Amino acid sequence: MLGHLRFPVARSRGRKYPELHHPYRNEFQRDRDRIVHARAFRRLEDKTQVFASGISDHFRNRLTHTIEVAQIARTVASVLDLDVDLTETLALAHDFGHPPFAHAGEKELDSQMRRFGESFEHNLHALRLVERFEQRYARFPGLNLTFEVREGIVKHSRDLTPGQSLELDQYLPESRPPLEAQLIDLADEVAYNTADLDDAFEAGLISMPMIAAAVPAYAELFEAVETQYPGAHERVQFLESLRLLIDLLVTGLIEGTATAARVAGAGGVEDVCAHRSRLAGYNERAAATTRELKRFLHANVYDSVALREDRARSRAMIAELFEWFLADPDRMPEPHSSLARREPAHRVVCDYIAAMTDGFFRRCYDRKS
Ligand code: MG
């Protein structure tokens, strides 16, 4: 469909440290494999997505969420005839930079860094992880990923402004990323909006009639499922309706992107990157449904008393541990403690905490007191 807009792997700007080609894996396939074998990938297993583990065995964590994003992104890229390997690589890495305790963790690290006139941003942290903190090669630091994968990591969820920082200015801040990277943020959104409904249903926070009252497109799907399977168990009816909802959003993403590319008259990758806005997007129905789902999830799930209390507790714990390490950076193990002598200690503490899993964070926190 959009094969003419596919990013050709042969045109990759390559790696910082030149490497020989592999006999049977292309450069994006190798990057995907490097991501899967990275420690940061395994740590996703013990990072909260929305609901903390321990209450149910079936809530998403950041690893299972990541696999769902990769599934959706791969489907969309393959139907649109884009580069599936590049898309999958970016999907698998898209949450690498998330600190423990999900958005509470991100918010708290950011507010700690603001005391020093800096900030915490998870995409930048992901770049630091793959360029610096993953150490598995004798010849270079980090994973030595291709330019396009690094560009996708910093740009998948937002555009850059030129002059922001020397580091980011390497990633073509004036242009949009290829479609493969543009899809990731939307595949992420489809995955979490639907998965959060599932987990919230499991947690007993929401019901099908509640969603139907707030999201007209869902009301139609719910009615279709009730008519088709009137005797089915409520949970099975819910899963049937959720499947239809994912399909509606994924189809809307495929159609919306194909239409936008046609309307823009994009003839090649250069046009995608030079276009004033991103071409990946939903059709109207999926866009409206996404807005309604977000409103519903905020009101009934993210802003629920249980999750609000959970976030406040997590933020307080992160603030405390941040302060504790900062007061004496030697409380961190090597190489972090030595690093804190050469670099601003608050940055080193921030990197150290950001990379932690929820479980490791709790063990550090318990040891402190
Ligand atoms: Mg995500």
Distance 14 CA to ligand 1 centre (A): 26
* Contacts (Cβ under 8 Å, ≥6 apart) of 342: none
Radius of gyration of the chain (CA): 21
Distance from Cα 170 to the centre of ligand 1, integer Å: 24
Please tell me the distance between residue 188's alpha carbon and the centre of ligand 1 in angstroms: 5
Other CB atoms within 10 Å distance of the CB of residue 252: 23
Indicate the pLDDT class of residue 311, thresholds 50, 70 and 90. Answer: very high
pLDDT, averaged across the chain = 96
Say how many Å lie between the CA of residue 202 and the centre of ligand 1.
Answer: 20
**Cα-to-centroid distance, 145 and ligand 1 (Å):** 20
pLDDT band at 191 (very low <50, low <70, confident <90, very high): very high
With cut-offs at 50, 70 and 90, classify the pLDDT of residue 280: very high
217 CA to centre of ligand 1 in angstroms: 24
The two tokens of residue 148 are 């396009």
Instruction: Give me ligand 1 centre to Cα 43, in Å.
Output: 14
User: Would residue 117 be called left, alpha or beta, if left means φ above 0 and alpha means ψ between -120 and 50 degrees?
Assistant: left
Cα 102 to ligand 1 centroid, rounded to whole Å: 10
Q: What is the pTM of this model?
A: 0.96
pLDDT of residue 29: 98
Cβ–Cβ under 8 Å, residues 167 and 123: no
For 172-184, what is the mean pLDDT?
A: 96
Structure tokens at 62: 């950041």
pLDDT digit string, tens, across residues 55-77: 788 999 999 999 999 999 999 99
> 137 CA to middle of ligand 1, Å?
28
pLDDT digits (tens, 9 = 90+) for 19-66: 999 999 999 999 999 999 999 999 999 999 998 877 788 999 999 999
Query: What pLDDT score was predicted for residue 159?
Result: 87
- In the chain, the domains with their CATH numbers are 3-308 (1.10.3210.10), 309-368 (no CATH)
Please give the distance, rounded to the nearest whole angstrom, from the Cα atom of residue 343 to the centre of ligand 1.
30
Q: Ligand 1 centre from 187 Cα, in Å?
A: 9
Beta carbons within 10 angstroms of residue 354's beta carbon: 22
Around ion ligand 1, which residues have CB less than 5 A away? 95, 188
Which tokens go with 363? Answer: 């063990």
Separation of CA 329 and ligand 1 centre (Å): 31
Q: What is the DSSP string of 327-339?
A: H-GGGSPTTHHHH
Q: Give the CA distances from residue 49 to residues 105, 188, 201, 252, 353, in Å, rounded to whole numbers and listed in that order.
A: 11, 12, 15, 25, 17
d(CA 159, CA 175): 8
Rounded to the nearest angstrom, the distance between the alpha carbon of 94 and the centre of ligand 1 is 6
Distance 185 CA to ligand 1 centre (A): 8
Ligand 1 center–CA 87 separation, angstroms: 14
Residue 59 Cα to ligand 1 midpoint, Å, equals 14
Residues 6+ apart with CB under 8 A from 44: 61, 62, 63, 66, 95, 96, 98
What separation in Å is there between the alpha carbon of 11 and the centre of ligand 1?
28
* Interval between CA 66 and ligand 1 midpoint (Å): 6
Whole-angstrom distance, CA of residue 289 vs CA of residue 285: 6
Cis before residue 335, ω within 30 degrees of 0?
Answer: yes
How far, in Å, are 78, 180, 293 from residue 3 at the CA level?
10, 12, 32
Query: How much distance in Å is there from the Cα of 152 to the middle of ligand 1?
Result: 14
Query: Which tokens sit at 336?
Result: 């972090």
For 286-306, the pLDDT digits (tens) are 999 999 999 999 999 999 998
Per-residue pLDDT band for 179 (boundaries 50, 70, 90) equals: very high
Q: How confident is the model at residue 369 (pLDDT cuts 50, 70, 90)?
A: confident
Q: What is the mean pLDDT of residues 212-237?
A: 97
In the structure, what pLDDT confidence band is assigned to residue 167 with cuts at 50, 70 and 90?
confident
* pLDDT at site 246: 98
Evaluate if residue 140 carries a pLDDT over 90: yes
Rounded CA-CA distance 97/128 in Å is 9
Cα separation, 77 vs 281, in Å, equals 13
